[in-house]
Structure 1
Amino acid sequence: MAKRGHGEGGIDERGENVFRLRWRANGRRHTKTFRGTKAEARKELRALTTAVDTGEHVDPSKITVSQWIDQWIAAGAPGRKKQKVGQRTLERYEELLRVHVKPKLGDKILQKLKATEIDELYGELEQKLAPMTVNHVHRCFNSALSTAERKGMLASNPMTRIEQLPSAGESDHGLALDEADLKTLVNGFKPSATMYAPVAVDASTGVRRNELLAFWWTDFDPEKKTLKVERALEVTKKFGIRYKAPKTWRGKRTIALDDGTVALLLTEREKYQRLTAGIPDGADASNVDFTRIKLPDGALIFPGAPAAGEDFDLTKPRDPSTFSKRFRKGADALGFAGFEFHHLRGTHATLLLDKGVPVHTVAERIGDDPAVLLRNYAKRKRKQTADTSVASVINTISAGIFES
């Protein structure tokens, strides 16, 4: 048993990585069961006693679901790995819980929250929200309650006793275009000076939209014919549009480029070098050494257009949402109604797999998990080709088996 001085509280060991925390607040004694390491227990006790000193202390037996959600969000919404989530994800979690959980369960005492009350909430949400949204609500609410259980705020997580987990429904993996349709789509954007190049590069690389719009010219190596994925854009309410590192180790990668994409990017770079050097469009630049024209640090391959009255800033990113809307409008006009920008990524992966490129190679190229890639590929192909290709193969095999 380890104790601390009077007024600082104390820690009693109750089992392996199980401790009872003791402290005083407003003349009353409080206790709390904590699961974790001894160091984590000390940290938790310090947080509790500090809250007493600052007047922010809430008796664990009286804390509401709403109060706990606020604490969890303020702590960065840590999950099983005790790591904070990204800013955009944090804002999404806060919105989901504030809009869909707090109105019905916010006033409930956290320690008295019942599984039947969560079942009732999910039943109501399923009547008015898409299955995917309800599933997202469940995932972040469950993470919040799991953290409360880990910190000893809950004896057990009521989520383990709910009747049925909300289904995510059928995800939209999009129909993969064949080579002819992909060519038609990409070439259809040629009249647009700002959309053709990014659409063509995405079709030939399969990168995510926010990776594409975060490419710097320093990521492009025309000699090695590669593009490095080092960062992605993140759109947040608190900080606006900013850069972030790839989510996983798979995200940071180097992509091999074909000759056509290299040539396109060299043309794009020369356009911005002309702009930087003040060379008018159409002016003869045959005597210009473009290798001596340096673009500014952080110059984007696909920068955002300047607002009215502003100078062109090569380091200003495009707004991802506006970019997607422009693509969707253009795709609709070309006869590809419902085709979203992220479907280019699926199309790229599907075409490579159809050509016999190994799954692990394609997954490495697009920065995805091989198992996820195969699952999504199977769903896209099921929708696109039904069983006609399988039937053709079976007919060929059967012809050999039953040949007289």
Structure 2
Amino acid sequence: MKGSRRSHGDGSIDRRGEDVYRLRYRVNGQRFTKTFHGSLSEARKELRALLRAGDTGEHVDPSKLTVGQWIDQWLRIGAPGRKQEEVSERTKERYAQLVNEHVKPVLGHQPLQKLQATEIDRLYTELKAKISPWTKRPLSQRTQRHVHVVLGATLATAVRTGLLSVNPMTKTAKKPKTGDGRPGIALDETDLAKLVTGFKSSPLFRIVALTASTGMRRNEVLALRWTDLDAEKKTLRIERAWEPTKKHGMTLKPPKTARGLRTIDLDDGTLALLLHEKERYQRIKAGVPDAAEVNLSLVKLPADALMFPAVPAGGRALDLARPRDPWGVSKAFRGRAKKLGFTGFTFHMMRHTHSTMLLDKGMPVHRVAARIGDDPATLLRVYAQLTKKKSTQMSDVVNALGTAILGPT
């Protein structure tokens, strides 16, 4: 059955089965054939891309395409995965880092269509023995697993586009372990209060206090605007997050997931901290000294004014819309936390702590998940971890239950 015929220079498309098409085209007078899996409209799009690659000199004979060349093509089209959707720029940069550092040196020169499962097994063996140039330690199971997942996405896309008839990854003898999955550390209330109090003399204090009391992600906190705060209702809207990328710099995007779009309640203490911070910026904008008695409600901040803008350096004027460096915030947090006695405690672990505390106090999982903008299943799997005090509580409950059932010993 024929799918679509074109003029000689435009190539042709023949239907070979259900959502299977054979693409025929010429580049510099040489004929090529490629099998494509997908809809007819997708096949037409793929044919146009092949012809365009021929015009720009980027075309590679499918039979000679190397794994490294295919990885580069896959990244250029947006690194699509199982859902056939383009990933964010930041995610694409992370994928590129993984394949460039770990996959290409081992498999990059191999012809894609001749890639064998045994060669992928060899890659996994080398990953297990590899020492990270950054940490000077063996690669973590998490990194090894990420390499496996990204390589799997590239090869699955090659199958969908007809470059491979079978994914060699399905025939490997092994694959990297998922890893221990430990999300980090969750503090108890006493330690969390000690940590937050220890930041009182730091420029990060209000950022740390807000994160500890809401469980927000770092890039959500840094993207907050004063227009997101409803002081009367004591709520905060989370509508955006910063995405730091090498290609585009800092760009705003919706939160990490659809669940990230949410409105959360604030406690009185956190609300007071935010209003005090807003007043500080209103005084700066109006040029009013701290001690002066004025009606600050008449001072309007710009609509794009951030709650926590970058601190100006070297005598530069304050720009309320200029974001802080997320990595700088995390680095400064880790350094001060270590000095306070919380070695290994990262900024993101305040999110772990907040959600774990709410769960431990009996809040329903779905409500905690809605507050932090996460999937309930993910929340239970990743964040519901035990501190030492919780282990003691569990022992107390178990002992009480046993006494109730069997009677005192």
TM-score above 0.5: yes
- Aligned equivalent of 1:347: 353
Superposition map of 1:119-138 within 5 A: 119-128=121-130, 129-138=139-148
| Structure 2: unaligned runs, 5 residues or longer | 131-138
2:21–2:37 Cα contact (<8 Å) kept? yes
Shift of 1:339: 1.3
Pick from 282, 287, 292 the counterpart of residue 284 of structure 1.
Answer: 292
Measured against aligned partners, the alpha-carbon deviations of 1:186-236 in whole angstroms (never above 9, x if no partner) come to 1111122x1111111111111001111110111111011011111111111
Superposition map of 1:172-251 within 5 A: 172-192=182-202, 194-251=203-260
Amino acid in the other structure paired with 1:313: D
**Whole-Å separation in 2 of the counterparts to 1:73 and 1:206:** 33
SS at match of 1:266: helix
SS at match of 2:259: coil
**Whole-Å separation in 1 of the counterparts to 2:348 and 2:112:** 40
- Aligned equivalent of 1:260: 269
Instruction: Please say if 1:363 is aligned against 2:382.
Output: no
**Whole-Å separation in 1 of the counterparts to 2:188 and 2:389:** 11
**Whole-Å separation in 2 of the counterparts to 1:93 and 1:403:** 58
Measured against aligned partners, the alpha-carbon deviations of 1:146-190 in whole angstroms (never above 9, x if no partner) come to 111100011111111111121231134222111111111111111
Aligned-pair RMSD on alpha carbons?
1.5
Instruction: Please say if 1:80 is aligned against 2:90.
Output: no
**Whole-Å separation in 1 of the counterparts to 2:17 and 2:257:** 36
**Whole-Å separation in 2 of the counterparts to 1:134 and 1:304:** 36
- Aligned equivalent of 1:97: 99
Pick from 61, 65, 68 the counterpart of residue 66 of structure 1.
Answer: 68
Distance 1:387 1:262, change over 3 A: closer
1:176–1:384 Cα contact (<8 Å) kept? no
Amino acid in the other structure paired with 1:344: M
2:188–2:389 Cα contact (<8 Å) kept? no
**Whole-Å separation in 2 of the counterparts to 1:390 and 1:384:** 10
Instruction: Please say if 1:393 is aligned against 2:397.
Output: yes
2:311–2:318 Cα contact (<8 Å) kept? yes
| Structure 1: unaligned runs, 5 residues or longer | none
Distance 1:298 1:179, change over 3 A: same
User: TM (normalized to structure 1)?
Assistant: 0.95
SS at match of 1:53: helix
Pick from 88, 102, 116 the counterpart of residue 118 of structure 2.
Answer: 116
Identity %: 58
- Aligned equivalent of 1:318: 324
- Aligned equivalent of 1:34: 36
Measured against aligned partners, the alpha-carbon deviations of 1:322-342 in whole angstroms (never above 9, x if no partner) come to 111111111112122211111
**Whole-Å separation in 2 of the counterparts to 1:180 and 1:124:** 45
**Whole-Å separation in 2 of the counterparts to 1:114 and 1:79:** 21
Instruction: Please say if 1:139 is aligned against 2:149.
Output: yes
Distance 1:376 1:317, change over 3 A: same
**Whole-Å separation in 2 of the counterparts to 1:264 and 1:385:** 29
**Whole-Å separation in 2 of the counterparts to 1:332 and 1:86:** 32
Shift of 1:85: 0.8
- Aligned equivalent of 2:163: 153
Aligned length: 398
Query: Which consecutive aligned stretches of 4+ in structure 1 deviate over 6 angstroms post-superposition?
Result: none
SS at match of 2:81: coil
